[in-house]
Chain A
Amino acid sequence: MSQGYRHTVGSCTYQFENLAQLMAKATPARSGDRLAGLIAQSAEERAVAQLTLAEVSLTTFLNDALIPYEDDEITRLIIDEHDLKAFAPIAHLTVGDFRNWLLSDHATSEVLASIRQGITPEMAAAVSKIMRNQDLILVAKKCQISSAFRSTIGLPDRLSTRLQPNHPTDDVNGIAASMLDGLLYGSGDAVIGINPATDNVKQATNLLHLMDDVIQQYQIPTQSCVLTHVTNTLECIEAGAPVDLVFQSIGGTQATNDSFGFNLATLAEAQAAALSLNRGTVGNNLMYFETGQGSALSANAHHGVDQQTCEARAYGVARKFNPLLVNTVVGFIGPEYLYDGKEITRAGLEDHFCGKLLGLPMGCDVCYTNHAEADQNDMDNLLSLLGVAGCSFIMGIPGSDDIMLNYQTTSFHDALYLRRVLGLRPAPEFEMWLDKMNIMKNNGQHVLSGNVPGPFACSLHAIGGN
């Protein structure tokens, strides 16, 4: 165990009891850490904590577990699977040196990939705490992570979207209407993913068939997912439903995941079941995880660890299962964890950086709720920053308004904005489909066609539309 950390500034000596407290106090301010009673008591204490954290050696994180090895299967996962050989090139560094190293010209995409398995979530969290927003963007941009199922996510200069056609009563035509809207705006290359209104195995099965029928009829190179509990998806697979991806919300402590009703073995079982269906065409990454700062505290399962470090530990869970998509739903949890646009923006950049550094196909649900101090302009800012950072995917929803989950996320239009200003393209397989369907021509400007493509026009005509 640690003997605590001290730092003297002038005549004042600051004392930090242990590594968890030092990490928490070094974290840029946010309401969730205040709620947990972990936040620095003053701006100076925070700055001093950052100076102190910068002097901590990376090896400390291997010897001083923030949550005891005996108590937590995620700590065991992180420690047991740590790759000392990959760690060797950075083993001599302190957290402060590690920041310099990450920013240096030496840390190319290839080098970053080679040390990935030597970085623990806690190391990633620690260094992120002493990085400015531009540092988080620059290093994340250097981390190249791709994953694939029926489309390839995360290639350089690509931006994918999850088409999120939620409907408050899971009405099939209501869902299909949003799907059509999204597809005709070039959305859906990461996944077509529905949050069902009620966790119900029968309903999930119906929705899986609904999406699978559309994907097959229009030959769309993408995958579908019903975002239901992992045990429901297992039941769907056993009942013969067309399951592409296995979804689960995950947290960074065993107790958080207990409260979500699953453990690592559950995930492994579901992954194996879905792999046995053999439904991927260009790859076999089929797990879809969602995360978000504050979930551990919300479940009263944070062990005195700050919310951003808990979040990074969730990525430790995710990378065990070679996911297709990892999505930090950054502003969904509410103002008691991330109070306003500034805190949401910082958290989004931290999560994207930590996920990418650890090797995950990281996307972000750039979002806010109506009880947070945030608005569309805050989302424009974070969206643009994440685009520059090379974010793998974002959400796509009609007019930013999720009428089922009652929050605001990025619209189909938002994705097109980002693609246009930064010259980003959809996943290659999906791009070809958009071109073939005459939805969007890739002539450098991503110009949408003015007309409804033939096959979709037929379906519209059949129901008395235009």
Chain B
Amino acid sequence: MKKHLDSQTASGDRLGHLKNGNVVDNPWQTLRRYTDARIGLGRAGISLPTSAMLGFQLSHAKARDAVKLRLDTELLSQQLQQQLGEFSADFPHSPLVLHSQAFDRTSFLQRPDLGRKLNDASRNTLLNFMTQQQGDSEPEYDLAIVVADGLSSLAVQHNAAPFLKQFMARIHNEKSPSKLAPLTIIEQGRVAIGDEVGQSLNAKAVLLLIGERPGLSSPDSLGVYFTWGPKVGVNDSQRNCISNIRPAGLGFDDAAQRAMYLLTQARRIKRSGIQLKDHSDYTSRDAFVQRGLPKRSFLTKPS
């Protein structure tokens, strides 16, 4: 969780001989227990000390490498089936693995338009699936859950399955059961591709899990996007987003609670996005609201 600080300390020790009294330490380093932010770095004159500067360079190098890492779809598929084993009745089919029109990482980075569309093979996969399911009438689903690599396959690989486990537990607590579309996994996918998947699967709503752009301290941050009535061409103001889902960020339980809140409210008002404000703090009933947020920080005393 605090890897970058550890590495700074380590390099700081190695470079300790450089200090020579030219580095002014900040006596508030103890505040690092509250945040991963790079606070209390000290200074050489008014500039970054050598250890902090080189520590940053190492973190940037790691993040650059993470952007290029490819999603292991086979492993993810296994992870999802294992973690969601208790909900196997909801997912009678194994996840469908799809691919955007961006054929590799370079094309994905330079052509976001391609990352928002399924390639022909994937469109056929969905079409075939729907044809197979067709009985007396066209199948219809309450929700499609889509997992896409986005800008960090690491985020998806680490955090998609544990988030979904929490989310599915809530789906099961609902009064009326939801019919779920098969899980889909998308390589080289961007946010809007979820809408095409949701539309193709005839789903009333789509929940997209996607790797967010890697930060220096958080290469594995997962984002969740929710759209009611997904179809190609839906714009961003019609989506709701829950960001920074990872063990050291927004926890799986809280994130699942918020996602469930969005789904419940959207069902009521038949829309999502800007008209669906996240008032989940006001209304949720479990520990999430009781814990609340203290308004006052250590910097201010009660008046």
Contacts and interface: CB of A to CB of B under 8 A. Distances in A.
B193 to A, nearest CB: 14
Given A174-B34, A217-B301, A400-B56, A181 B39 contact: yes
Nearest to B237: A261
Interface of B: 24, 26-28, 30-32, 34-41, 43, 46-48, 52, 56-57, 59-60, 63-64, 66-67, 109-113, 151, 212-218, 221, 235-237, 241-244, 248-250, 258, 273-274, 277-282, 293-301
A283 to B, nearest CB: 26
The 5 closest A-B pairs by CB, nearest first: A399-B38, A406-B215, A176-B297, A174-B35, A261-B274
A463 interface: yes
B278 A198 contact: yes
Contacts of B218: 168, 403, 406
A178 B37 contact: yes
Contacts of B242: 198
Contacts of A466: 27-28, 30
B28 to A, nearest CB: 6
Contacts of B26: 181, 184
A377 B159 CA distance: 33
Interface of A: 31, 35, 165-181, 184, 197-203, 206, 209-210, 213-214, 217-218, 229, 231-232, 235, 258-261, 298-300, 334-336, 339, 369-371, 375-376, 397-408, 411, 413, 416-417, 420, 446, 448, 450, 452, 456, 459-460, 462-466
A324 to B, nearest CB: 24
B31 A413 contact: no
Contacts of A201: 277-279
Nearest to B243: A197
A232 B296 contact: no
B34 A177 contact: yes
B298 A176 contact: yes
Nearest to A372: B109
Contact of A203 (B37, B67, B212, B293): B293
A176 B294 CA distance: 12
Given A198-B242, A370-B67, A168 B237 contact: no
A21 B194 CA distance: 33
B111 A35 contact: yes
Q: Is the interface of B mostly helix, strand, loop or mixed?
A: loop
Given A198-B242, A217-B300, A370-B60, A259 B38 contact: no
A117 B122 CA distance: 53
Nearest to B62: A370
Given A401-B59, A413-B43, A213 B37 contact: no
Nearest to A181: B39
A452 B27 contact: yes
A370 B214 contact: yes
The residue in B34, B39, B52 that gathers the most chain A C-beta atoms within 10 A of its C-beta is: B39
B213 A370 contact: yes
A450 B35 CA distance: 23
A177 B35 contact: yes
A219 to B, nearest CB: 12
Contacts of B36: 168, 403
Contact of A210 (B46, B57, B274, B295): B295
B37 A465 contact: no
A320 B89 CA distance: 57
A199 B280 CA distance: 11
Contacts of B295: 172, 206, 209-210, 213
A172 B293 contact: yes
Nearest to B27: A466
Nearest to B235: A259
B118 to A, nearest CB: 18
Contact of A369 (B43, B213, B235): B213
B109 A179 contact: no
Given A168-B249, A200-B280, A399 B110 contact: no
Contact of B64 (A334, A370, A407, A450): A370
A202 to B, nearest CB: 4
